[in-house]
Structure 1
Amino acid sequence: MGTVLAPPRSKPPLQRAPRLTRLQRLRRRGIESYLFTLPVVIVFVVLFAIPLAQSFYYSLTDFNGYSTDADFVGLANYTTIWQDSSMLSALGFTLVFTVGTTAAITALAIPLALVLNRKFFGRNLVRSVFFFPSVVSVAILGLVWGFIFAPLGTGVINSIIGWFGAEPIAWLAEPTLAKLSVIIVAVWGGTGWHAVLYLAYLQAIPSEFYEAAGIDGATRWQQFRYLTLPLLIPAMTVSQLLLLTGGLKVYDLPYTLTGGGPGFATRTLTQSIIENGIAQGEVGKASALSVVFFVAVGLIIVAQLALARRLESRFS
Structure 2
Amino acid sequence: MTALKKIWSTHSGPYMMVLPCLVMLAMFTIYPLGWAFKYMFYDYDGFSTPIFIGFDNFVRLFTRDTLFWQSVWNTLIFAFGKLIITLPVALVLAVILNQKIFAKNTLRAIFFMPTIISTAVISLVFYLMFNSYNGIINKMLLESGLIDKPIEWLGVKYSILTVILVAIWGAIGNYMVLFLAGLQGIPNDLYESASIDGANKWQQFFHITIPMLGPVMQVIVMLAIVNTLKGYESIMVLTAGGPASKTEVMYLYIYKLFFPISEGEAVVQQYGYGAAVGFVSALIVGAITGLYLFMSRKSAQSN
TM over 0.5: yes
Asked if residue 242 in structure 1 is aligned to residue 242 in structure 2, the reply is no
Which residue in the other structure is 1:77 paired with? 57
The letter of the residue matching 1:74 is G
Distance 1:35 1:130, change over 3 A: closer
Which residue in the other structure is 1:9 paired with? none
Is contact 1:133-1:192 (8 Å) kept? yes
User: Whole-Å Cα distance in 1 between the matches of residues 7 and 239 of structure 2?
Assistant: 57
Asked if residue 200 in structure 1 is aligned to residue 181 in structure 2, the reply is yes
Distance 1:278 1:132, change over 3 A: closer
Q: Any gaps of 5 or more consecutive residues in structure 1?
A: 1-23
User: Whole-Å Cα distance in 1 between the matches of residues 116 and 258 of structure 2?
Assistant: 31
User: Whole-Å Cα distance in 2 between the matches of residues 192 and 159 of structure 1?
Assistant: 28
Instruction: Figure out how many residues of one structure are paired with residues of the other and give that number.
Output: 288
Give the SS at the match of 1:201: helix
The letter of the residue matching 2:204 is Q
The letter of the residue matching 1:290 is G
Q: CA deviation at 1:313?
A: 4.6
Q: CA deviation at 1:151?
A: 1.4
User: Whole-Å Cα distance in 2 between the matches of residues 188 and 242 of structure 1?
Assistant: 17
Give the SS at the match of 2:217: helix
User: Whole-Å Cα distance in 1 between the matches of residues 227 and 106 of structure 2?
Assistant: 28
Identical columns (%): 33
Q: Deviations over 1:155-190 (max 9, x none)?
A: 11110111115211111012x410010000110111
User: Whole-Å Cα distance in 1 between the matches of residues 24 and 108 of structure 2?
Assistant: 37
Q: Any gaps of 5 or more consecutive residues in structure 2?
A: 261-267
Is contact 1:251-1:270 (8 Å) kept? yes
Across the aligned residues of Structure 1 and Structure 2, the Cα RMSD in angstroms comes to 2.5
Length-normalised TM-score, structure 2: 0.86
Give the SS at the match of 1:171: coil
The letter of the residue matching 1:113 is A
Q: CA deviation at 1:28?
A: 4.4
Is contact 1:233-1:308 (8 Å) kept? no
Q: Deviations over 1:14-72 (max 9, x none)?
A: xxxxxxxxxx89x949x9499465554444333222221221221111112111x2222
Q: CA deviation at 1:209?
A: 0.4
Q: CA deviation at 1:111?
A: 1.2
Q: CA deviation at 1:216?
A: 2.3
Instruction: Give matches, 1:32-43, under 5 Å.
Output: 32=11, 35=15, 39-43=20-24
User: Whole-Å Cα distance in 1 between the matches of residues 300 and 115 of structure 2?
Assistant: 29
Correspondent of 1:173 among 138, 155, 168: 155
Which residue in the other structure is 1:125 paired with? 106
Which residue in the other structure is 1:56 paired with? 37
Correspondent of 1:136 among 117, 121, 125: 117
Which residue in the other structure is 1:17 paired with? none
User: Whole-Å Cα distance in 2 between the matches of residues 193 and 50 of structure 1?
Assistant: 30
Q: CA deviation at 1:251?
A: 2.1
Is contact 1:230-1:312 (8 Å) kept? no
Is contact 1:241-1:301 (8 Å) kept? yes
Q: Which has the larger radius of gyration?
A: 1
Which residue in the other structure is 1:20 paired with? none
